[in-house]
A and B are shown apart, each in its own frame.
Chain A
Amino acid sequence: MGARESASVLEDAPIPTFPRFAEEGAGIETVKDRFSRVSNFVRVLQAAELPAGSKKAVEVAGKWILLCNTDNRLFAVSNICSHAEEKLDCGRMGRTWIACPLHGARFELATGRAMNPPATKPIATYEVRTVDGWIEVGILPVGQASA
Chain B
Amino acid sequence: MSAEIKDRAHKGEARCPGAPTTQEIIASDKVGAPRWVRSESYAFMGDEDIPKDRYIDADYAKREMENLWPRTWQFACREEHIPEVGDYHVYDIGRHSFIVTRVAKNDIRAYYNACLHRGTKLRASGTEGNAREFKCSFHGWSWNIDGSHKEAVCDWDFPHVDSKKFSLPQAKVETLGGFVFINMDPNAPTLAEYLGPEALAHFKAWKLEDRYIYLHVAKRLPCNWKLAIEAFMEAYHVIVTHPQVAVSNGDANSQYDTYGEHVNRFISPLGVLSPHLYGKHTEEDILKQFTIGDSSALGNSERSLNGGSARQVMADMFRGMFEKATNTDLSSVSDSELLDCYSYTVFPNTFVFPGISLPMVYRFRPDPQDHRKSLYEVLFMRPVPVDGNRPMPAEPIRLADHQSFCEAQGMDPGFGNILDQDTDNLILQQEGLEASAKPGITLGNYQEIRIRHFEKTVDRYMK
User: With A1-B83, A117-B124, A118-B124 given, is the CB distance from A91 to B130 under 8 Å?
Assistant: yes
- B131 close to A104 (CB less than 8 A): yes
- Given A100-B129, A103-B137, are A95 and B392 neighbors across the interface (CB < 8 Å)? yes
Contact between chains at B124 and A104 (CB < 8 Å)? yes
Contact call B135/A103, Cβ cutoff below 8 A: yes
B123 at the A interface (CB under 8 A): yes
In the assembled complex, B106 has its CB within 8 A of some CB on chain A? no
Report how far A68 CA is from B84 CA in the complex, Å. 18
| Contact of B130 (CB < 8 Å), options: A53, A84, A99, A105 | A99
Residues of B within 8 A of A83 (CB): 137
Cα distance, A104 to B128, chains bound together (Å): 8
Are A94 and B395 interface neighbours, CB within 8 A?
yes
Q: A1-B84, A94-B395, A95-B394 are in contact. Are A84 and B129 (CB under 8 A)?
A: no
What residues on B are CB-neighbors of A105 within 8 Å?
Answer: 124
A92 touching B395, Cβ below 8 Å: no
Is A102 part of the binding interface, using a Cβ–Cβ cutoff of 8 Å? yes
From B83, B84, B130, contact of A101 by CB (8 A) = B130
A96 interface contact, C-beta 8 A: yes
A101, B127: Cβ atoms under 8 Å? no
- Tell whether B17 is near chain A: CB-to-CB under 8 Å: no
Interface size range on A against B: 20 to 34
Q: Complex formed: what's the CA distance from A98 to B18 in Å?
A: 58
Residue of B with least CB distance to A117: B124
Nearest chain A residue, comparing its CB with the CB of B136: A103
CB-CB under 8 A from A94, the residues of chain B are 128, 392, 395
A43 within 8 A of B: no
Which of A1, A92, A105 is the most central at the interface, judged by chain B CB atoms within 10 Å of its CB? A92
Q: For chain A, what secondary structure do more than half of its interface residues adopt (helix, strand, loop), or is it mixed?
A: loop
Indicate whether B308 reaches chain A with its CB closer than 8 angstroms.
no
A92, B137: Cβ atoms closer than 8 Å? no
Q: Does A130 contact B (CB under 8 A)?
A: no
A106 interface neighbour in B125, B129, B392, Cβ under 8 Å? B129
B204 adjacent to chain A (CB < 8 Å): no
A146 near B: Cβ within 8 Å? no
1/0 contact string of B143-172 vs chain A (CB within 8 Å): 000000000000000000000000000000
Contact of A99 with B394 at beta-carbon distance under 8 Å, contacts A84-B137, A92-B87, A118-B124 already known:
no
A8 within 8 A of B: no
Interface residues of B in 108-152 (CB under 8 A from A): 122-132, 135-137
Check if A96 sits within 8 Å of B129, measured CB to CB: no
Contacts of A102 in B (CB 8 A): 135
User: Known interface pairs A92-B87, A118-B137. Does A99 touch B127 (Cβ–Cβ under 8 Å)?
Assistant: yes
Closest 10 CB pairs of A and B: A99-B129, A92-B130, A116-B124, A103-B137, A118-B137, A104-B123, A117-B124, A92-B129, A1-B84, A104-B129
Contacts A99-B127, A101-B129 supplied; 4 other A-B pairs, CB < 8 Å? A90-B132, A92-B130, A116-B125, A116-B127
List residues of chain B with CB under 8 Å of any chain A CB.
83-84, 87, 122-132, 135-137, 392, 394-395
